[in-house]
Amino acid sequence: MEYVSYSRKASAAVGQWIVAGFGTLWMIAWCLQQHGIDLAVLSLIVLAGTAISLAAWSQWRAGRGHPDTQVEAAMHKARGRAFLWINLAQWLALFAQGPCLAWLGHANWSQAAVMLIVGLHFLPLARVFKTRQHYLTGTALIAVALAYPWLGQGQPAYPAGCFATGAILWLSALLTFYRIGAGTGWPSSRTEALLG
């Protein structure tokens, strides 16, 4: 039977980097809706997003040369294919939601639809990669999307929705450091059990 070795830390760092980048974009959207072009707030957002991304890059560099996990080659390929299909379905849904909502006369709810789609895509990823943290992230994003009409009092451009989405994604990226250890002796068995 053929096996593939890889580094959990390096693999998780790639996901961290992507999640941190999208979290930064949601925070920028919040700032533009809430404050307009406020250079101080935008700079702070970009600085925070860059810090998380650089930490993920550092983690990727530290982990890439030290494989710590072995899986069957067939399972590794199946996970890769599942990841591609899940993300393809997510992007198709993201592109389709705009015209569909416009056709239904609700084009102004596109932001909430995007939040919902992104949240939903984390659920099959959690199953594929056996990561409870993705369930938590996806569920939190879905909750924000479903609560959006009430939180925004019927306003489709509710800035706090963008803030909540960005914060959830950033928090997910930061929790990954604890989930995989980040070389600090973490996680505790309790943290590992929760985010695992």
> Do residues 169 and 19 make contact, with C-beta atoms less than 8 angstroms apart?
yes
Which segments of the chain does DSSP mark as H helices, in order? 8-34, 39-64, 73-103, 110-129, 132-151, 159-180, 189-195
What is the per-residue pLDDT for 1?
63
What is the per-residue pLDDT for 7?
63
What is the per-residue pLDDT for 155?
65
What is the per-residue pLDDT for 193?
47
What is the per-residue pLDDT for 3?
61
What is the per-residue pLDDT for 186?
39
Distances (CA, A) of 110 to 46, 54, 100, 121: 24, 31, 10, 17
Helix or strand or coil: residue 131?
Answer: coil
What is the per-residue pLDDT for 64?
74
Peptide bond into 187 cis (omega under 30): yes
Intervals of the chain under pLDDT 70: 1, 3-8, 63, 66-73, 76, 152-157, 180-196
pLDDT digits (tens, 9 = 90+) for 47-58: 999 998 888 888
What is the per-residue pLDDT for 194?
46
What is the per-residue pLDDT for 22?
93
What is the per-residue pLDDT for 191?
44
- The CA angle 74-76-77, to the nearest 5 degrees, is 65
What is the per-residue pLDDT for 156?
63
What is the per-residue pLDDT for 76?
67
What is the per-residue pLDDT for 135?
93
- The CA angle 12-18-19, to the nearest 5 degrees, is 85
Which residues have a Cβ under 8 Å from the Cβ of 113 and sit 6 or more positions away? 97, 101, 145
